[in-house]
Amino acid sequence: MQILIVGASGRVGHNLSRILAQAGHQVVGTQSHLGPADLPVLDLMYATVDEIAQKIQQLGDFNAVYFVAGSRGKALLQVDLNGAVKLMTALEQLGIKRYIQLSSYKADRQAEWDGYRGDLTNYQIAKFYADRWLQEKTALDYTILQPGSLTEDDQVTGVEFMTNQAGKNTIATVAQVLADLLQHDNTIHKTITMHQGDQSIAAALGQL
């Protein structure tokens, strides 16, 4: 399978690229113009939808696309929100259906944000509108993954999905779940909250 990872220079994207490549997929990762990595640039900030679509065509003929990009608070509207929407629109123009978006815990449910007041509020707002646009205004075969807080741990742990507590998630676990979503068509059109738990990833995905 040919897979595009938008945001491959980040912590999750780097791990995801490695996992998918090791599984035998042909993986192309991109970075924004802000990124430090030696990867092709997909400019979500200033490029038009048509320019994004053209760049994707130049990079390959993709079966699935991941959006794991993030501006780390530096360009929330331009990248985390508008960049995501422009990417979705470009994929629909190109006829690419399978799309997996990394989001934030319960980002699409503002009434349940009590644990996210303060510094993360603007981030949650950007993710809210990106998630809602994907759910309500596209015909993509999407899956949205909404983990709680991320920890800098290389260990892949068990998981709990559809949880009502934010909890913690290792970056390695989030990357593994994202990779494994491709093998589970039952996750299409689902928004999945997650944190560290006792179930294996395969078992938890199979039960969704």
Instruction: Give 5-31 pLDDT, tens digit per residue.
Output: 999 999 999 999 999 999 999 999 999
Say which range, 67-76, 89-98, 157-166, has the weakest mean pLDDT.
67-76
Q: What is the pTM of this model?
A: 0.95
Kindly write down the DSSP assignment for every residue of the chain, as one continuous string.
-EEEEETTTSHHHHHHHHHHHHTT-EEEEEB-TT--SSS-B--TTT--HHHHHHHHHHH---SEEEE----TTSSIIIIIIHHHHHHHHHHHHHT--EEEEE--TTTT-GGG-GGG-STTHHHHHHHHHHHHHHHHH---EEEEEEE-EEE-------EEES-SS--EEEHHHHHHHHHHHTT-GGGTTEEEEEEE-SB-HHHHHHT-
Indicate which CATH number applies to the domain containing 114. Answer: 3.40.50.720
Name the pLDDT band for 181 (thresholds 50, 70, 90).
Answer: very high
pLDDT number for residue 135: 98
pLDDT, mean over the chain: 94
Q: Which domain holds residue 103?
A: 2-206
Q: State how many domains the chain has.
A: 1
